[in-house]
Amino acid sequence: MISNDTIRKVIENIQQTPKIGRVEEFGDLTSFLLSEKNNWITGQIFHIDGVKSTLTVKA
């Protein structure tokens, strides 16, 4: 979908943070969670969605 410039721009414009996320932005978190630096975090759900899950819709 993001290879189509028109669709990509629409997706970017509806995001709270107006951009498409990159693999590197969640790859660092994954690397940390799998590393020996992380010896305490377990069983969590990380919402990596450009702030979308924190928005509320008012009718």
Taking all residues of the chain, what is their mean pLDDT, rounded to a whole number? 77
**Is a pLDDT exceeding 80 seen at residue 44?**
yes
| Dihedral in degrees, nearest 10, Cα atoms 58, 16, 30, 36 | -90
Q: Which parts of 1-59 fold into alpha helices (H)?
A: 5-14, 23-34
Residue 59 lies in a domain: no
Give the per-residue pLDDT at 37.
94
Residue 14 lies in a domain: yes
Q: How confident is the model at residue 15 (pLDDT cuts 50, 70, 90)?
A: low
Residue 31 burial class via C-beta count within 10 angstroms: exposed 0-12, middle 13-18, buried 19 and up = exposed
How far apart are alpha carbons 39 and 53 in whole angstroms?
Answer: 27
Neighbours of 2 (CB within 10 A): 10
**Is a pLDDT exceeding 60 seen at residue 58?**
no
Domain that holds residue 43: 5-54
Give the per-residue pLDDT at 55.
52
Q: How many domains does the chain have?
A: 1
Q: How confident is the model at residue 53 (pLDDT cuts 50, 70, 90)?
A: low
